[in-house]
A and B are shown apart, each in its own frame.
Chain A
């Protein structure tokens, strides 16, 4: 099996503290309610009429993607894929749509956003990304699964670029929903733009960051969403400081090590 490293062309994360991109961290403005209140100028240089209408998971995915793609347009749109881990699906939008049914006027715009895959739609439309998409709306470690699948698609030669996304709208919004998950967490999103080895060199801010997946060893268990969020935070922190990292991972979807090499 081809296990070549893939290049990290760019990244972003959006969390309770602010917005992280290569070489930059921006805190939320005073009065801004964190990720759920992210604003278009913080994401895109020009107006995009749909931005304000996006449901929360879609807005988080679009924002994280747009930040990672800033200055890093896909080399070939038909050879660029989007792989999204979205463990809680679109439950907040489901609840909003249900209210619109109860109100007697079901909203077509909200209905289309009740699909977890809705989170990739505006990314594809705005950034003209036309390759394969896979939406992992749960299961074992959806981010690691999306990362593994995206890396393997790059290694297979089908793709030149892969956008790996993770979106978790948190739990505060739907405490009363019929969900078995009763943990508390805030909204979070991140994006990794990965390139095949044949892709042009990465931007200066990430001079030679690469990721290797090694399927060996007896790694740590990664059984909960909280564990996966911690893993993603470590990965983003390492990218931000250009530190190398080797994280042991054991989930159903991936067993081995995620190795990040920065120099």
Chain B
């Protein structure tokens, strides 16, 4: 069987817990979003139960215990740390102590590497705004396919902070009540906390493996913070991904949307999806009504969750979606449905018009 890039191990932490708890909660229609004051700004937020998990060291100590890194540690892997801002407690406006991690992502990557006990052949830090996680996986895929490394470890981390919350608040992007992706009444995003760790390898798939068969990226070249109204940038990334996967639109079982629940993002994304699928898209879903927007780590967290939903053969509900928006006409549902075709096109978009897409396909046993 032809070799492919496979996610061999995975672990995550988000507002709903680890991988298993989060998957089950989303399938049960549970959202972690609670309307509550967040750092004195009245927004809904999705905090970890234990705020220590917002700390880089604690989060990765826990994640490292949930995967088996013994073999990886001996393989000198490629290590990629993906974050938009990472652990920036030292940049909080009221920070007085100096005993906090460096705000530089380069220093945080070294810290994660040390905590997980990995001695990488190579360390990369990828910061492509909210698309960081999926771009890191795409870079790992590209290099693994060229057999430059025996395996790759991708780590993602981004958490709620006053620094980030105040920024989104200043842009008027936060929902006062909670994210409702693709809903006609949506009024903004909800921030969330998240960390994830994945081990990738290029090998022959065995029965039931999920393979990353394609990936591509594009830039809107349009606006510093707003998405392109035409959706063409994200469409280019999605179409490029299908092209380099050798897959036609009719062979895609579902679309995992970026789905931030801002008015403009979701409308743009619906246009991109309709362009890609010639107005006949497969079922689409967003997870941000359940776990919030976990920024640069989010696309990695959502990729791992998407893979799990593929394994469970169930397209998850889009939580908080009740009323279809005629301005964003794609098939989103508040209920879980079965996959007709075992593949998911994962989409992500970030500030600066950075778009990324990736295709996950389940190999038949």
Contact = CB atoms under 8 A, between A and B. Distances in A.
B152 to A, nearest CB: 13
Contacts of B147: 1
A152 B142 contact: yes
A121 B109 contact: no
Contact of B104 (A89, A102, A109, A125): A89
Contact of A180 (B107, B123, B146, B162): B107
A170 interface: no
A140 interface: yes
B135 interface: yes
Interface in B52-92: 80-81, 84-85, 88, 90-92
A54 B102 CA distance: 25
Interface stretch (B201-209, B217-225, B335-343): B217-225
A40 interface: no
Nearest to A252: B122
A131 B104 CA distance: 27
Question: Looking at B100, B121, B167, which has the most chain A CB atoms within 10 Å of its CB?
Answer: B167
A173 interface: no
B30 interface: no
A121 B93 contact: no
B105 A112 contact: no
Given A112-B224, A252-B121, A252-B123, A97 B107 contact: no
Contact of A138 (B93, B104, B236): B104
Contacts of B129: 115, 117
Interface residues of A, number: 59
B264 interface: no
A117 B125 contact: no
Interface string A67-99: 000000000011000100001110100110110
B120 A252 contact: yes
A203 interface: no
A230 interface: no
Interface string B337-363: 000000000000011111000000000
B294 interface: no
Contact of B352 (A115, A152, A156): A115
B85 A106 contact: no
Interface in A130-150: 130-140, 142, 145, 149
B169 interface: yes
Nearest to B108: A138
A20 interface: no
B166 interface: yes
Interface class of chain A by DSSP: mixed
Nearest to B353: A124
Nearest to A225: B106
Contacts of A137: 105-106, 125-127
B218 to A, nearest CB: 6
A250 B120 CA distance: 14
A116 interface: yes
Given A89-B127, A139-B109, A181 B104 contact: yes
A131 B219 contact: yes
A178 B100 contact: yes
Contacts of B365: none
Contact of B233 (A107, A130, A179, A181): A130
A118 interface: yes
Given A129-B219, A138-B109, A108 B171 contact: yes
A122 B225 CA distance: 11
A77 B166 contact: no
Question: Looking at A87, A89, A91, A118, which has the most chain B CB atoms within 10 Å of its CB?
Answer: A89
B81 A139 contact: yes
A62 to B, nearest CB: 12
B171 A117 contact: no
A127 to B, nearest CB: 8
B128 to A, nearest CB: 5
Interface string A171-187: 00000011111000000
Contact of A124 (B120, B166, B352): B352
B214 to A, nearest CB: 12
A128 interface: yes
A247 to B, nearest CB: 18
A160 B288 CA distance: 36
A120 B123 contact: no
B171 A253 contact: no
A101 interface: yes
B98 interface: yes
A178 B166 contact: no
Question: Looking at A95, A111, A133, which has the most chain B CB atoms within 10 Å of its CB?
Answer: A133
A156 B135 CA distance: 17
Contacts of B93: 98, 101-102
Given A97-B163, A101-B93, A115-B85, A133 B106 contact: no
Contacts of B146: 1, 152
A114 interface: yes
B40 to A, nearest CB: 11
Contacts of B88: 94
B307 interface: no
The 4 closest A-B pairs by CB, nearest first: A138-B106, A111-B167, A252-B122, A132-B217
10 contacts: A77-B221, A91-B103, A101-B166, A111-B167, A117-B350, A134-B139, A137-B126, A178-B90, A178-B98, A252-B120
Interface of B: 80-81, 84-85, 88, 90-93, 98, 100-107, 109, 120-129, 135, 139, 142, 146-147, 162-163, 166-171, 216-225, 233, 236, 350-354
Given A111-B170, A127-B221, 7 more contacts: A89-B127, A101-B93, A125-B224, A134-B126, A136-B124, A138-B125, A140-B123
